[in-house]
Amino acid sequence: MSKISFLKGDGRIMKFKSQIKKISALFLAVTVLTSIASCEGEQKKYESELYAMNTVINLTCYGSDATAQVSTELNRLESLFSVTRENSDIWRINSSQGCSIEISDETAEVLNIAEEIYNDTDTAFDPSIYPVVRLWGFTTDSFSVPSKADIQNALKLVDYSKVKIEGNTVTSPQGAMLDLGGIAKGYAGRICRDLLKANGVDAAVLSLGGNVQTVGKNPNGGKWKIALRNPDGGQYLCNILVDECAVVTSGGYERYFESDGKRYHHIIDPATGYPADSEFKSVTVIAQDGAVADALSTAFYIGGLQLVKEYLSSHSGIEVILYTNDNELIVSKDISSSLEFNGAIKEAQTI
């Protein structure tokens, strides 16, 4: 009898999430959990904690507050992208049985960015991976190690090149199913950045389950300081000093289960149908577009250093911080001078 236990990097968040599920069963669509206003220097600072897109979200606005608008927007995006919510764009595509489906501008935009990253990462990022992700139980939290035959069968449905996006119409092969879990939070960060600015918030930091989007300039006059979590726990790996950008991290430590003493995480290698056997404990990508940063961090985790080097040689404006299985940091040249080492790691190798 195999033993399955669910584990996650942060047990507190799991407990918290189950509490939220109970709360939201009572009060549908209540997502603002806490909201605090304080003063920092000249600027009033508004801090809030929300729950949306299956994750805890922290928002800090300076000068004025737009928590309510961000909360509404995140709920709206979730209702488009969710794989489980009936009548979301993705749910309708996944139930389409080969028929063409009309989707929102936002879903079309995400699917187009996903296509670009799919093509540019040697298909490591493939949002049509859902039949395999579902087989492992990552959607429903009912985890199990599938049989090789089941994985092979599910893999036959995985091929994003067969999903046709023409304007707002998507046509996918019978049985194909999409999952935007590897790109949606980064995209949402970028949309919220623009929404915050449109609502008069010139400086803010939004963290969607660890995917960080900074907005404008830090009101203290310096850069924003983002601490990189150590996948093994304990001290942060390092701080990154940045202006407005997205800082997105992927790693097997973020979501996994154990069966018979072996760990299985949620980032699936489309070449095998198994959790990626990565060279890295975590991959952080810094870019202007949160959707691109999010999709790339997932792809680089799968494709390893060779894919990172290939990608960087033909694209600009993308920075990486790779934490290897040997506990070493490898970083792209232009970000190296923006790192602060006062934690577990003392130096980084540059590529």
Binding positions for ligand AMP, rule: CB under 6 A:
125-127, 129, 133, 138, 179, 181-182, 250, 254, 266-268, 270, 294, 297-298, 302
List 126, 254, 289, 294, residue binding Mg ion (CB under 5 A): 294
- Output the smallest distance, CB 308 to Mg ion, in A: 14
Residues in Cβ contact with 319 at an 8 Å cutoff, skipping those fewer than 6 apart: 285, 286, 287, 331, 332, 334, 335
Q: What does 89 interact with, of Mg ion, ligand AMP, none (CB < 5 to 8 A by kind)?
A: none
Instruction: Return the number of the residue (203 or 206) whose C-beta is nearest Mg ion.
Output: 206
Q: Which is nearer to Mg ion, 13 or 32 (CB)?
A: 13
Q: How far is CA 85 from the centre of its chain?
A: 19
Contact at 8 Å (CB) between 284 and 248? yes
209 interacts with, out of Mg ion, ligand AMP, none, CB within 5 to 8 A per kind: none
Interface segment toward Mg ion; rule CB under 5 A; list 15-23, 278-286, 292-300, 324-332 = 292-300
The least distance separating ligand AMP from the CB of residue 322, rounded to whole angstroms, comes to 14
Binding segment (CB under 5 A) for Mg ion, from list 43-51, 158-166, 214-222, 295-303: 295-303
Give the separation between CA 257 and CA 108, rounded to whole angstroms. 32
How near is the Cβ of 72 to Mg ion at its closest, in Å? 24
DSSP per position, 291-335: HHHHHHHHHHHHHHHHHHHHHHHH--S-EEEEEETTS-EEE-HHH
Binding partner at 270 among ligand AMP, Mg ion, none, C-beta below 5 to 8 Å by kind:
ligand AMP
Compute the half-sphere exposure of residue 123: CA atoms within 13 Å on the CB side of its CA: 11
**DSSP tag of 222:** S
How many angstroms separate the Cα of 188 from the Cα of each of 99, 193, 213, 292, 314? 28, 8, 9, 11, 26
Structure tokens at 311: 């990608």
Q: Which of 140, 142, 139 lies closest to 5 in space, CA to CA?
A: 142
> Please, which residue, 206 or 267, has the CB nearer to ligand AMP?
267
Check residue 303 for interaction with Mg ion (CB under 5 A): no
Q: CB of 255: closest distance to ligand AMP in angstroms?
A: 6
**Whose Cβ is closer to ligand AMP: residue 216's or residue 290's?**
290
CB of 194 to Mg ion, least distance (A): 20
Q: Which is nearer to Mg ion, 298 or 332 (CB)?
A: 298
- For Mg ion, the nearest residue by Cβ is 298
Residue 182 interacting with Mg ion (CB under 5 A): yes
Count of residues in contact with Mg ion, rule CB under 5 A:
4
Question: Token match 């389950």: residue?
Answer: 209
In the complex with ligand AMP, which residue's Cβ is closer, 214 or 250? 250
- Of 325, 323, 320, the closest CA to residue 335 belongs to 320
- Across the strands, what pairs with 165? 170
The residues binding Mg ion (CB under 5 A) are 182, 294, 297-298
